[in-house]
């Protein structure tokens, strides 16, 4: 069977294969119809088989089915948009899946390479931080662990509040919004990652409140205590490994990309009876809800990819 399959894939035509049928005999338009049901990585792998498969893998009809319905609106955020007016849909998909930064590089949107659905990340640099300009309370440090290569570090505050917003033509879908945070401050020492919890305090005295609002009236509220051992023992895991975790704020539904959906979000702990500090805030992510598995109660350990 292996030899038979090899002859099918290696031969371009029946004549070249001694009269036996081969994959090269399948009409390109038929291959394109099959490709519409496959994922982009599967299509790219099959394109290596023969000329017909390569031609089908470059077909606009195939890649049009992989792009969001409103991909023309997404092109508006691309620098030099005019360069994409006459290119193949395959190249447009490739450009969008690599990620496109906008809003001075503080926000990034990309297509999931498997499903072709929209994902977004928003840097803390694009958010409003209470007392964020006071270096006694907040500062910034560079790191390769962030998509934006910089994170905000809360040294010590009484009023903790981080908020932001984004207005974007999200394609119809159900989205989950999360905050990505890190307990303690990390750095490299002799090539090893080391976490410092010297200034980490106050988070066990009250929960952090997360909220989101959308322009069409949707509202979601969540509260988590970073030191709550009931959340899959998340705090103990953090103190041992010093990992990033994502706190789920909530979900929102987009039924139409016109008009664009505005999403406002916040993370706060404004109980001024005690101070708190020693927390890094990296970004907010907006992702189709079924693309990423979440831990119970919305808390999941994560790494930057």
10-residue block means of pLDDT along the chain (305 residues)? 40 53 73 88 88 87 89 76 72 89 92 93 97 93 93 95 96 95 86 84 91 96 73 46 85 93 96 91 95 53 44
Domain boundaries, the chain: 2-64, 106-302
pLDDT score recorded for residue 232: 46
User: 221-264 pLDDT, tens per residue?
Assistant: 999 987 643 444 444 544 444 788 899 999 999 999 889 999 99
Is the domain spanning 106-302 CATH 3.50.50.60? The answer is no
How many other C-beta atoms are found inside a 10 Å radius of the C-beta of residue 74?
23
Q: How high is the pLDDT of residue 218?
A: 97
Is the pTM of the predicted complex or chain greater than 0.75?
yes
Residue 136 CB coordination number (10 Å) = 9
Long-range contacts from 143-149, C-beta under 8 angstroms, 24+ separation: 143/186, 144/304, 145/186, 145/244, 145/282, 145/303, 145/304, 146/282, 146/283, 146/304, 147/108, 147/121, 147/123, 147/282, 147/283, 147/304, 148/105, 148/106, 148/108, 148/121, 148/123, 148/282, 148/283
Question: How confident is the model at residue 86, as a pLDDT?
Answer: 66
């Amino acid at each position: 069977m292996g030899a038979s399959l090899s002859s099918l894939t290696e031969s371009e035509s029946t004549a070249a294969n001694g009269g036996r049928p081969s994959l090269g005999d399948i009409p390109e338009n038929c291959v394109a119809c099959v490709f519409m049901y496959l994922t982009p990585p599967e299509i790219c792998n099959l394109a290596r088989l023969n000329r017909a498969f390569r031609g089908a893998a470059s077909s606009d009809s195939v890649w049009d089915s992989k792009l969001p319905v409103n991909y023309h609106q997404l092109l508006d955020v691309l620098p030099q948009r005019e360069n994409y007016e006459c290119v193949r849909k395959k190249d447009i998909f490739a450009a969008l899946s690599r990620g496109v930064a906008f809003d001075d590089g503080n926000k990034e949107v990309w297509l999931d390479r498997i499903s072709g659905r929209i994902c977004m990340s928003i840097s803390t640099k694009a958010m409003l931080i209470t007392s964020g300009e006071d270096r006694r309370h907040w500062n910034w440090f560079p790191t390769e662990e962030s998509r934006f290569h910089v994170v905000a570090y809360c040294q010590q505050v009484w009023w903790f509040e981080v908020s932001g917003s984004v207005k974007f033509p999200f394609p119809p879908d159900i989205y989950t919004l999360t905050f990505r945070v890190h307990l303690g401050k990390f750095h490299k020492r002799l090539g090893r990652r080391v976490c410092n919890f010297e200034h980490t305090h106050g988070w066990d005295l009250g929960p952090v409140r997360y909220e989101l609002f959308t322009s069409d009236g949707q509202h979601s509220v969540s509260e988590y205590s970073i030191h709550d051992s009931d959340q899959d023992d998340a705090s103990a895991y953090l103190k041992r490994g010093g990992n990033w975790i994502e706190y789920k704020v909530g979900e929102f539904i987009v039924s139409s990309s016109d008009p664009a959906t505005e999403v406002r979000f916040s993370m706060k702990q404004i109980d001024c009876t005690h101070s708190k500090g020693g927390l890094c805030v990296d970004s907010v992510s907006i992702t189709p809800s079924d693309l990423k598995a979440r831990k119970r109660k919305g808390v999941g350990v994560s790494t930057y990819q």
